[in-house]
Structure 1
Amino acid sequence: MQTVLSLLSSPWFLVAWAALMVPCVLWVIRDLATKNAHLMSLMKVVWVLTVLYSGPLGLLIYRSCGRKEIPRDTLWRRGFRSVAHCYSGCGAGEIVGLLIAVGLLGLGNIGIAALTFVMAYVAGYALTVGPLVQDGVPFRTALWDAVLSETPSIAVMEIVAISVDLAVSGKAGMGEPLFWSSMIVSLTLGLVAAYPVNVALIHFGVKEGMMDPRHTHHAEDHDAHGAGAPQTG
């Protein structure tokens, strides 16, 4: 464990991460602009954020599950698209929550965990409720649908991510490499932990998951959930 902490505390870890992550993000942006421009703007943001948070792993998920070039769609691919959708919003909320809790308010671990958890839920729900409301679903129906379909995924993702982040970073401040390194590691572990939850939710019909990218059209691309949500195929 001490060896891992020493590695994450080194600024060279962040340099190496940037050297891996930036080309991955640029590749995804180029691919979305040239070969997968048919995807809705929301999903383009989802994929860019997923790769921004998780670098090569995010790129692997996009290449194998999120492009029209996939040979066929499967439950495991739908699960990855669904968890990426959740991850992009929750990750943004978690990052903002950490920056506010640590950088602005100087909270202790309990305060950091609480604020980060709330921010992740708000961002995660917003990314689901917003598109549904735009499609004409009443706000209360869209919110209830988000609660049913996203709560298990967000809960697992954030419990794992926040626990790992607090355990690894300790009392590191924003000026220390360990603060940012632990955020990178914890976000990715949260993604991995929430993946089987999304597969189970799709398998049992709690939500449909994101539409097959080979059949996506601008007016139809959003996350479909329970019976009250618009269907996407």
Structure 2
Amino acid sequence: MADNVHPTTAPWRPAIQATLHCLTGCAIGEVLGMVIGTALGWSAGPTVVLAVVLAFVFGYALTMRPLLRSGINLRTALKVALAADTVSIAVMEIIDNAVMLVVPGAMEAGLSNWLFWASLAFALVVAFVLTVPVNRWLISRGKGHAVVHQHHAH
């Protein structure tokens, strides 16, 4: 834990920003995975797996991009992205997909149905709200997106 930050006093703003960053990557991956899975006629299982994989890929890529632009090598940028985003993306994906699976008919609704899109938007909002405290806790301990900020001055 950072010497000057206590878990109960860690600011919310960095946690919200980190979670918005995570949400962006997750949403891109989720939507792309759902579109691809649905277009290929896949069932819910393989479609969810693809969406989760793509959420991680896009989440990590969004973290790595500015690091690579700042001159950090690919291996270090990947290590930072893994350290910064894995827990946040995992929590967000578990919540997001659980919500999608429990909303009756959401996964079967298809891309042209409002139920699918409304359920996905609701799932992402719920995932965001429940992941912010996780990111706050991580940042208060010098982990999560706090790791990325250590490398921004590079």
Same fold, judged at TM 0.5 (above): yes
For the Cα contact (< 8 Å) 1:172–1:178, is it kept in 2? yes
Q: CA deviation at 1:230?
A: 3.0
How far apart, in 1, do the equivalents of 2:32 and 2:140 lie?
32
Residue of 61, 70, 87 corresponding to 1:152: 87
Q: CA deviation at 1:173?
A: 1.4
Q: Which residue of 2 aligns with 1:185?
A: 122
TM-score by length of 1: 0.58
Gaps of 5+ in 2: 1-9
Counterpart AA for 2:23: Y
1:230–1:177 Cα change, 3 Å: closer
How far apart, in 2, do the equivalents of 1:208 and 1:165 lie?
27
Q: CA deviation at 1:184?
A: 0.9
Q: Which residue of 2 aligns with 1:136?
A: 71
For the Cα contact (< 8 Å) 2:87–2:144, is it kept in 1? no
Counterpart AA for 2:32: V
For the Cα contact (< 8 Å) 2:15–2:135, is it kept in 1? yes
Max Rg structure: 1
Query: What is the RMSD of the two structures over their aligned residues, measured on CA atoms?
Result: 1.8
Q: Which residue of 1 aligns with 2:27?
A: 91
The number of residue pairs the alignment matches comes to 143
Residue of 5, 8, 15 corresponding to 1:79: 15
1:119–1:208 Cα change, 3 Å: closer
Residue of 51, 61, 84 corresponding to 1:116: 51
| Higher normalized contact order (CA 8 Å, seq sep 6+, divided by chain length) | 2
Q: Which runs of 4+ in 1 moved over 4 A?
A: none
1:181–1:133 Cα change, 3 Å: same
TM-score by length of 2: 0.85
Q: What percentage of aligned pairs have identical amino acids?
A: 38
For the Cα contact (< 8 Å) 2:99–2:123, is it kept in 1? yes
Residue of 199, 204, 224 corresponding to 2:141: 204
1:89-123 CA distances to partner (integer Å, 9 max, x unpaired)? 21111111111111x11211210110000010011
Gaps of 5+ in 1: 1-73, 210-223
Q: CA deviation at 1:231?
A: 3.6
